[in-house]
């Protein structure tokens, strides 16, 4: 379980910081599905905060569900935006992460 949480934290810190920084490469995926940059940057901040929450949750497992549920909602939203933009094939990373987060939620 700890390895799964650490892996999720690493993925979402990298992803979140690249969006929050406004880096063109980090925002390219959200631009492809017509998400405004300001919203993508907020999502990046929430991803980063949730990733840090996952690391805190390793010590205090009773609060681990909060960042997991937040990330689950973000990935569900990402899938929605991909389908809305008629690009379902590019939603695979979000779907994969949603599945991994769901597994983590079931095992805590």
Q: What is the pLDDT of residue 53?
A: 97
pLDDT tens for the chain, 108 residues long, are 799 999 999 999 999 999 999 989 889 999 999 999 999 999 999 999 999 999 999 999 889 999 999 999 999 999 999 999 999 999 999 999 999 999 999 998
Domain boundaries, the chain: 2-107
Q: What is the pLDDT of residue 108?
A: 85
Q: What is the pLDDT of residue 55?
A: 96
> Is the CA virtual torsion 25, 31, 35, 36 positive or negative?
positive
Strands (E), the chain: none
């Amino acid at each position: 379980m700890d390895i799964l949480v650490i892996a999720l934290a690493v993925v979402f810190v990298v992803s979140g910081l690249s969006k929050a920084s406004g880096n063109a490469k980090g925002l390219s995926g959200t631009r492809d599905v017509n998400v405004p940059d300001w919203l993508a940057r907020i999502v990046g901040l929430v991803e980063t905060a949730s990733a840090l929450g996952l690391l805190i949750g390793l010590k205090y497992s009773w609060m681990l569900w909060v960042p997991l549920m937040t990330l689950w909602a973000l990935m569900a939203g990402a899938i929605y935006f991909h389908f809305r933009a008629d690009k379902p094939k590019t939603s695979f990373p979000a779907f994969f992460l949603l599945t991994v987060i769901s597994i983590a939620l079931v095992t805590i």
